[in-house]
Structure 1
Amino acid sequence: MSAPDISTETMGQFRGSGVEKHSTVLLGAGASITSGLPSWDEFAARLLISADVVSESLATHLLTRQDPMIAVEAARSNIEAADSSIETTWTQQLSDQLYATVSPLESLSPSPLHQAAVGHYLKSPENRSLVTLNFDVLIEAELNYELEEESNLESKPSLTSITNSESRQGEHSVHHLHGLITPDRAEDVVLTLNDFTALLENRNSWQFKYLKSAVYKGALVIAGTSYRDPDLRQWLHAALKSKPDNHKAFVLLARESFGISKDEFEMLESALSSQWKAVGLHPVLMQDHTDAAQIIRELDYVNREEYISPQDRCKIIWGVHVRNFGELQSVYVDELGKNASNLKNLFEVSTLDVTLWLSNGDGKLIRWASQDRVYRSLDALREVEAGHDSPWIAGQALAQESVIISDLSDHPTRRWNSVIAAPISVEHPLLPFVTCAVLTVGIPESANSFEEEAVKWGDELGKIADQWSSRIFERVYPGEEA
């Protein structure tokens, strides 16, 4: 499953849930991991290693057998023993290790989940709220970008990161339940066991009051977290007792967060649903983090009578292509041939392969057309799995909604040494876009021979993907405007 497979049944759970009154989107680590920041366990391991608590080889071993909150206490203790200016040194370590693998820092960019949450918020800021468990300010980065794009005012609307109050401040606010860590400062950080214990002793914390207000006003949508944090569990347990009966608190659970196979996830679905319902949350199970992004995009529309789910929209697109198979094979192969000519010059190679893949809305990605062949029947088209762990690069790109560059494994009959896969999003006249297609480029050179020149070819590939987006839209919705 990837975003195109989100069904009417899945989205029906949000109807009449309070989301039509007010919605609060709470993002966890899954949103920022996609952007390149560490998971909670990875962050803890970095702190342990940098503080000389354990070696790199033992850090993971320690964290698999012990609560990371306790383990990180050792990192702070070592720093305290080494330097009398405790707070300054600890703060610097937090910043250094959170952003250790992001170089340059300017390359850190919001993920599809950040973008979806901000897009949902901006449609009705007075009836929406943004809150996070993460230390980074990627939500703010996306919000700043969108406000600058939309604003024609001489002065930019104010945006505040809040770490110590349930109230909004300024025109736009993002609440950080566990504090804030940027490359140059840290505020109200909740990380170690002592931090969590002290917070839980305060039975009237601002975080609790914030979440209590959120579920009273409307729906709460939690995405990108495995719900491990003891304070969040306690706050919500108490907050949910006073909410109106029809207001729901959703937890969007992606298989990607659990690191297990599709078969294993299927076997666990019943148990996962039962356990979340038992603690008062409404579970929505999915495969990839970007599925959560698509669901958040859909929230503004789900209560409309004319609503069509992402899966059904993809089936409409697929159906048009099936009905016009012969004509579109010819047209698309010609267009792919033109794309190939342009890209050969750009990559400075004598041969390459450009292929268009389409989702069928039924869990599969179909190799629809390539520039050097015309398929005569649907039976000749290859089907592959889509998803973050798909063995096919095209399947991964569809699920991640991002460009992927990868070398291919050695094989005596393989013509290409590497592949670039670019997702294609298709608009709808009335509903959000859905990423339902992928353009792949097979290249005879290894990925490292051109990866560093992504700026050189990235814009052109992006333009080609946009052209395919428009081409598919015009075929499916002739005479309509996106």
Structure 2
Amino acid sequence: MQRGRLAALSEVLARAHALVDDLAATPEAVQIADRPGFLVAQPENDPQPIIERLASAKHLTFVVGAGASMEAGLPSWGNLVRSVLDSLAPASLNYSDRAAWLDAAAESGLLGMAATARALADSDEQLVERVELHVYRGKGPEHFDPGPLTREIAAWKRDYPQIQLATFNYDQLLERALQDLGLDVEAREDNDPEHDGVGVVRHLHGLLTGTPATDAVVLTEGDYAAWPTASWQDDFMRHALEGVCVFLGLSFTDQNLLRWIYGSTATEHIAVLSRQSSPRLSPDVRHELESATRARLRHANVTAYWADFYAELAQLVHEARRRRGPGKPPAPYPKRGQKRALRGRRRCLPLRSLDARQRKVREILAGSLSGVRAALASVGADPTDAVLGLGLWGLDYEQRDVTLWASSDRIHIDLSTVTGVPLAWGSEWVAVEAITQGSVVEWDPGTYASRWRSVRGIPLVWTGSQEGERILVGAATLTTTGPSGNSIFDQAEHLAPGIRKTIDVALHDQLVRFWD
């Protein structure tokens, strides 16, 4: 064997040996200060200046990307492009060759992949049909609801009509959120003036309306190459960048976005990014990557803030809107969150009479499960033989962990045995993921240690009676022994689409009252 190849092989074996050592090592407990959290001030990453900047901006524009739609279950731009190209791949390729073909096509980048898809499509209309099919995962737009970030952006438009909304997304989730707030809405592809009392959303890269013959989207390298000079988008963004733009759900790889921000004046804009999008990075790699990205965006007059979690994005936008409003500035969010967390914990895990209180809470959860069974039966699904469970989890802002406070099938009898699960990026716990993502999460645990084959996590957000309050307090986990994909809930959803959502909302509204 040649010396160079031997050295390379030795290096590979050394890396493999190190990986085995890492797997064998017992992971050390992460110190509380090193755990991710919600709106926690850190060196070079303090949320309060961002909140103040948004709250005081006279001319504010929200510019939204795919991340805001992903929280509703829609694909990322990269996944969308790959799935569209996959659907148009040559039929002569078998499964393994098809995967290799897609990987090779990916070397041309996303714009090149999209251009290849256009070349393989029979027409622009067919390409748009495929795009719409894969944006909505073959289900149609009515199956997707706006997520918490989208709803918080819509609330800004309701409270402060002078702000502007622009999106790179093809969907109309933002319009749906505005309509849910009672606003008249216009989805626009122009820079004409807004009418009073109308919530306008400007689609910078096109809009899917369900009519592929007339819809057009910016997707391929050809679309960017043929971008018209002095377009309405250029004019809109030039004026928007004279004020303050806050970029949400964007990765800053889009050619048009980069051209706009680098060509703008020295006004300081804001990019809110999420660490949860890259959960496996080591602390050192994450720190250096963020430092480099922060420096890169600073050259474009953009200040970067990293939220630890997707759910934090909506909370940050909410805090800025509340700060902008009248009255005394609210206390910092972690302080308000911990105050509410302690109130809920005392109700479920009191220092005295723990056994009696736990039995009472278990009775309440069992009653909620009876309501779930009744809802399933009402749509024709027979829950008689289904084994169901319901858990109530509380978030602790100081400890930065999540704890199972109560369950429908067991009780805590000793507080010393009640331990929390640390907040983390990419947690193996459904309750933690539901809380940190801020949206419903459903998994099959896939472990012999659990009898549950389907676990659905529902984040709980307490709003209380105080105007403008919003605190993420915990999660409910709805479980069944039926396999994911063929559980009693899947059967009910097939019979009555939307029943899961109805159950989620009902459980949320019942269980969040523990924090009143």
TM-score tier, shorter chain, comes to: 0.7 to 0.9
Asked if 1:274 is matched to 2:295, the reply is yes
Residue 318 of structure 1: aligned partner = 341
Q: Whole-Å Cα distance in 2 between the matches of residues 394 and 310 of structure 1?
A: 21
Asked if 1:41 is matched to 2:78, the reply is yes
Which one of 219, 235, 242 corresponds to residue 260 of structure 2?
A: 235
Letter in 1 for 2:154: V
Aligned-residue CA RMSD in angstroms? 3.1
Residue 27 of structure 1: aligned partner = 64
Name the CA shift for 1:70/1:464 in 2 (closer, same or farther; >3 Å): closer
Residue 67 of structure 1: aligned partner = 109
Residue 196 of structure 1: aligned partner = 224
Asked if 1:251 is matched to 2:271, the reply is yes
Alpha-carbon contact 2:111-2:219 (below 8 Å) kept: yes
Which one of 401, 409, 431 corresponds to residue 394 of structure 1?
A: 431
Letter in 1 for 2:361: E
Name the CA shift for 1:467/1:75 in 2 (closer, same or farther; >3 Å): closer
Alpha-carbon contact 2:434-2:459 (below 8 Å) kept: yes
Deviation at 1:136, TM superposition (A): 1.3
Any residues of structure 2 matched to 1:68-467 within 5 Å, and which? 68-79=110-121, 82=122, 86-99=123-136, 101-125=137-161, 127-147=162-182, 157=184, 159-165=185-191, 167-168=193-194, 171-185=198-212, 186-199=214-227, 202=229, 204-217=230-243, 219-241=244-266, 243=267, 248-258=268-278, 260-261=280-281, 263=283, 264-303=285-324, 305-320=328-343, 325-326=350-351, 329=354, 330-331=356-357, 333-343=359-369, 346=373, 347-348=383-384, 352-362=388-398, 363-371=400-408, 372-377=410-415, 379-386=416-423, 389-411=426-448, 413-427=449-463, 429-447=466-484, 448-452=486-490, 453-454=492-493, 459-460=502-503, 462-467=505-510
**Larger mean Cα displacement after TM superposition, 457-466 or 269-278:** 457-466
Gaps of at least 5 residues in structure 1 are: 149-156, 474-482
Aligned residue pairs: how many? 447
Deviation at 1:267, TM superposition (A): 4.9
TM-score by length of 1: 0.82
Q: Which has the higher contact order (CA 8 A, sep 6+)?
A: 1
Identity %, equivalent residues:
21
Alpha-carbon contact 1:375-1:381 (below 8 Å) kept: no
Deviation at 1:256, TM superposition (A): 3.4
Residue 5 of structure 1: aligned partner = 38
Q: Whole-Å Cα distance in 2 between the matches of residues 90 and 397 of structure 1?
A: 35
For 1:383-411, what per-residue CA distance to the aligned partner results, in whole angstroms no more than 9, with x for missing partners?
21335621001101112223333222232
Alpha-carbon contact 1:114-1:139 (below 8 Å) kept: yes
TM-score by length of 2: 0.77
Name the CA shift for 1:194/1:416 in 2 (closer, same or farther; >3 Å): closer
Letter in 2 for 1:213: H
Q: Whole-Å Cα distance in 2 between the matches of residues 462 and 237 of structure 1?
A: 44
Gaps of at least 5 residues in structure 2 are: 1-33, 374-382
Alpha-carbon contact 1:252-1:283 (below 8 Å) kept: yes
- Regions of 4+ moved over 6 Å: 1-4
Residue 470 of structure 1: aligned partner = 513
Name the CA shift for 1:257/1:168 in 2 (closer, same or farther; >3 Å): farther
Q: Whole-Å Cα distance in 1 between the matches of residues 103 and 288 of structure 2?
A: 27
Q: Whole-Å Cα distance in 1 between the matches of residues 237 and 231 of structure 2?
A: 10
